[in-house]
Structure 1
Amino acid sequence: MPEQNDLGTVISTLEGPSPGNVDFVVNLPEMVLHRGQFVEMSYSEGTLIAMIVDLIKTNRYFERADSVKEFEASGKKMLEVFPTGEWEYLIAKTKPLGVFSPDGRVKRATSPISPGTKVRLAGNEKLHKFLGLDSANGLHIGNVEFHDLPVSLNLTRLFQKHLSILAQSGSGKSYLVSVMIEELLKRKKESGRLAAIVFDVHGEYINFGEAITDSKHEDYSNKTKVVKARDIRIGVPKLSAAILNSIIPDLSSAQVRDVARIIEQLRRNMQATGPFDFRDVKNAISADSEIKDSTKAALIGWLSGLEYLNLFARTDAPSITDLIAPGELTVIDFSDIVNQRKKQIIVSYFLRRLFDSRRSKHIPPFVAVIEEAHQFAPAMAKEESAISKGIIETIAREGRKFGASVCLISQRPKRLSTTALSQCNTHIILRITNPYDLKHIGESSEGLDQRSQDMISSQRVGEALIVGEATNYPVFVKIRERKSLESSHEVPLEKAALDFEARKEKAGEETEEFL
């Protein structure tokens, strides 16, 4: 009889055992195993940890299709005539991940394990150390799937070298981000707190700013500021040459210098004349003797186009540095803005100001969460439709040195800037079935092999694969239940239809009463 903790025994196949493949036969037919589970086995250099990547059932009685067909065609059932149940086996295919040496170090498996070795379910304590989880100060986002082991990710390993969250629509991206925000907001001062700013395209995180009146949810409203993007104003005196160049990409270098010079002149006179806007800039351009008339007309035309966006004013509103505080959340709600250029200008301006302020240490370390990141850093797009792409790529390349992090969220990773995505050292991948997106992710993530890609497409809602810097090895996670108020953004179609008709009936009744 097998020992109680034994799952099975390593077998010989054409492919192994090898340092990269180990198959084992499961001891008891009633045992239930799953793809993504971790197992361990004794090894010459310590304990080998492996992940189950596939499960195959085999039965000698059913190996030859022609024999099975001929016998069943005779009117007899093989299950009734032969002891088929006694010859059914479950084969688990595993991928060795590493070796836990007796001194607690983890290293690669470089030689094959012996056939006949007993296989056990990986113990939680050993698995915790093997994966590099941080139960003391980490962000608890869920449990290792099929193991009763909480997944708490170290803050630095998760965010310092940037994070991407990739999944198709409806797979639980926003739910996962909400769980992460909860963890950031509840951190204590002595554990190290980041400031968080979310560029919220659909208004999915504004619920964090709502006061809670029930006992089922936790209240984060005292740590959250929600800013409607339609109310944002960018102070013209704050515009640098780099910002001007990003929001008006058609300007030549000489034209950028001309506008920057005019703004600098007006800035020097601010003590006497006060803040200024684009109308003042246009008047100064018209009066400037150094700028050619043809250039004046072009500059005034471009500035008038920016005025039309109703986004620029004499001062910033709100002040960007006032929005950022350790352990607090700022949500920029874009749900009432349709103009994509306006969205990109806001994201570009905020990120540039935040990055510059962080480099000079005027604000705390921060993470900028960018929903629909492929809209703001598109892989292939003209400059005028990719205003925010440059600063996102800059922070992705250089931000880790200054404590400026980005979290890129996308349902179309193939359309997301390869430069930005490749700088994200941790990927959290929920369900994706598009083969082009899967291939793109595989090319961007070193720790993602073909077997893991195949498992991604079969994930259910709320299941995720973590690959990269945050964990020592890839791990499948079941995302925990959120504690914050659910987003009111996505309403079931039936409820939306019922609500519409109910409102219509109520309006009709009120009209009749009035008449």
Structure 2
Amino acid sequence: MLQVIGTVKGPGETGNEYLFITADNSEVKIGEFVAYQAQQDDETLSILGKIADRRLIDHLPDRIFADTEINPEAIAALVGFAHPNPEIYEVAVTVIGYFHPALGFINPRLTPDPGSKVYRVDDDTLRQVVNKKQPQEVGAAHVGSLLLRPSEAVPVALDVKELVSTHMAILAGTGSGKSYTAGVLIEELLRPYNRAAVLVFDPHGEYGTLGDMRGHPAFQADDGYIPTVQILTPDDIRIRMSSLDYYDVLTLLPDMSDRQQAILNKGFAILKRHRKGDYRWDVNDLIRAVHEADTSVDDEGNEKLGSSAPAIEWKLERLAQSPYFDRMNHLAPKDLFEPGQVTVLQMNEISQEEQQVICAA
């Protein structure tokens, strides 16, 4: 049975909003899902919306509230006003549309008529429309439950395929639980019904606790599946120098002038020309190429080295001292990815520039 909470007053400030009037403040929380019914051809549609604003438009006189010793309800009763909810609210709703099982939400552009009843969307309906997949289905990531309903009344499960097939950002204020949310998603990806391969770049050293999944019964399956957690410290990270391109090296070199950038770019071109194929060059090879790029011949046929090459050489020699970039060793994808495994690269001791290049490599 529908739980009616208000009556439509008319359109809102935009074409996608409407207003309704209610005296029940407890059921009109900001963000709550409500609906009205509309006819389209011979079909009755439930048009869902989300409460966007709420405004008090009628209440007892302000004088009653000014004296803290006075009971407003008692005064109202003395003058014959005994309504249990004397306040009247105007509520603005943003229309979402009706739900089609195959197409998702469709906005039919049907505005509700004044006098139409507005009802609170029940939990069963929300469970169907909020989730493309139900919790514990293959390809589902259960991240919690709808905040405005009782705990676990409306669980929220994301579609893992949609989640990992595009970029996603978790945006919130400091201390709001961004890292915790990411941790929950990672745990769901490692559940027996997903068994994903996950790589975590951990710039702040926050995800070492993922190791607690080992041996936890919630992550075990009857076929013997147990998720693998591989935590790599900065000492385990090695990137082969020859896997870097011009822009990677430029990121790692500080305060490069325009001419130095041009010489470095030319040096990379010379290096590729001289060392064709899968040649594993190191910093010394790049230094020689930079010297060649910055060498000119004067009118008398004498070679002259420019001023940029020695400056770049000094910066490259500093780069060679980094423990994370090596001539031969390389942390390849095959070492990081495996179904049912999460690999955490702890990078909290690594500079931001080096972190960026390591992630890109």
1:82 counterpart residue number: 76
8 Å CA contact 2:270, 2:289 repeated in 1: no
Deviation at 1:261, TM superposition (A): 3.0
1:96 counterpart residue number: 95
Q: Secondary structure at the match of 2:87?
A: strand
CA distance in 1, matches of 2:110, 2:309: 73
Q: Which amino acid counterpart does residue 39 of structure 1 have in structure 2?
A: V
1:283-328: CA deviation from partner (whole Å, max 9, x where unpaired): 6766x59845225423322311212333322223433442123443
CA distance in 2, matches of 1:105, 1:307: 54
CA distance in 2, matches of 1:146, 1:165: 20
Equivalent runs, 1:232-243 vs 2, <5 Å: 232-243=237-248
CA distance in 1, matches of 2:346, 2:101: 52
Distance 1:18 1:341, change over 3 A: closer
8 Å CA contact 2:96, 2:105 repeated in 1: no
2:267 counterpart residue number: 258
Distance 1:90 1:205, change over 3 A: farther
Q: Secondary structure at the match of 1:324?
A: coil
Q: Normalized per residue, which structure has more strand?
A: 2
8 Å CA contact 2:20, 2:118 repeated in 1: no
Deviation at 1:99, TM superposition (A): 2.8
Distance 1:261 1:324, change over 3 A: farther
- Where do 5+ consecutive residues of structure 1 fail to align? 354-515
8 Å CA contact 2:8, 2:117 repeated in 1: no
2:7 counterpart residue number: 10
Q: Which amino acid counterpart does residue 38 of structure 2 have in structure 1?
A: Y
Number of equivalences: 329
2:36 counterpart residue number: 41
Larger Rg: 2
1:98-127: CA deviation from partner (whole Å, max 9, x where unpaired): 134799874214232123322222134433
Deviation at 1:232, TM superposition (A): 1.9
Distance 1:289 1:247, change over 3 A: closer
1:125-147: CA deviation from partner (whole Å, max 9, x where unpaired): 43345445222432111112224
Q: Which amino acid counterpart does residue 22 of structure 1 have in structure 2?
A: L
Distance 1:24 1:156, change over 3 A: farther
8 Å CA contact 2:56, 2:87 repeated in 1: yes
Q: Which amino acid counterpart does residue 81 of structure 1 have in structure 2?
A: I
> TM-score, structure 2 length as denominator?
0.74
Q: Normalized per residue, which structure has more helix?
A: 1
Q: Is residue 332 from structure 1 mapped to residue 345 from structure 2 by the alignment? A: yes
C-alpha RMSD of matched pairs (Å): 3.8
CA distance in 2, matches of 1:156, 1:197: 16
CA distance in 2, matches of 1:205, 1:101: 39
CA distance in 2, matches of 1:340, 1:106: 42
1:457 counterpart residue number: none
Q: Secondary structure at the match of 2:173?
A: coil
Distance 1:17 1:6, change over 3 A: farther
8 Å CA contact 2:267, 2:286 repeated in 1: no
Q: Secondary structure at the match of 2:170?
A: strand
Equivalent runs, 1:317-328 vs 2, <5 Å: 317-328=330-341
Deviation at 1:35, TM superposition (A): 1.9
Q: Secondary structure at the match of 2:316?
A: helix
Q: Secondary structure at the match of 1:111?
A: coil
Q: Which amino acid counterpart does residue 37 of structure 2 have in structure 1?
A: S
2:172 counterpart residue number: 167
1:384-427: CA deviation from partner (whole Å, max 9, x where unpaired): xxxxxxxxxxxxxxxxxxxxxxxxxxxxxxxxxxxxxxxxxxxx
Distance 1:297 1:42, change over 3 A: same
8 Å CA contact 1:39, 1:120 repeated in 2: yes
CA distance in 1, matches of 2:293, 2:265: 16
Deviation at 1:85, TM superposition (A): 5.2
> TM-score, structure 1 length as denominator?
0.54
Percent sequence identity is 22
2:316 counterpart residue number: 303
1:407-448: CA deviation from partner (whole Å, max 9, x where unpaired): xxxxxxxxxxxxxxxxxxxxxxxxxxxxxxxxxxxxxxxxxx
1:63-105: CA deviation from partner (whole Å, max 9, x where unpaired): xx4x5479x59x9655333225515135343222113479987
1:479-502: CA deviation from partner (whole Å, max 9, x where unpaired): xxxxxxxxxxxxxxxxxxxxxxxx
CA distance in 1, matches of 2:264, 2:277: 20
Q: State the structure with bigger RCO (CA 8 A, min sep 6), 1 or 2.
A: 1
2:302 counterpart residue number: none
Q: Is residue 346 from structure 1 mapped to residue 341 from structure 2 by the alignment? A: no
Distance 1:118 1:228, change over 3 A: same
2:132 counterpart residue number: 133
8 Å CA contact 1:134, 1:152 repeated in 2: yes
Of residues 208, 211, 215, the one that matches 2:210 is 208
Q: Secondary structure at the match of 2:354?
A: helix
Distance 1:115 1:247, change over 3 A: same
2:118 counterpart residue number: 119
CA distance in 2, matches of 1:300, 1:334: 27
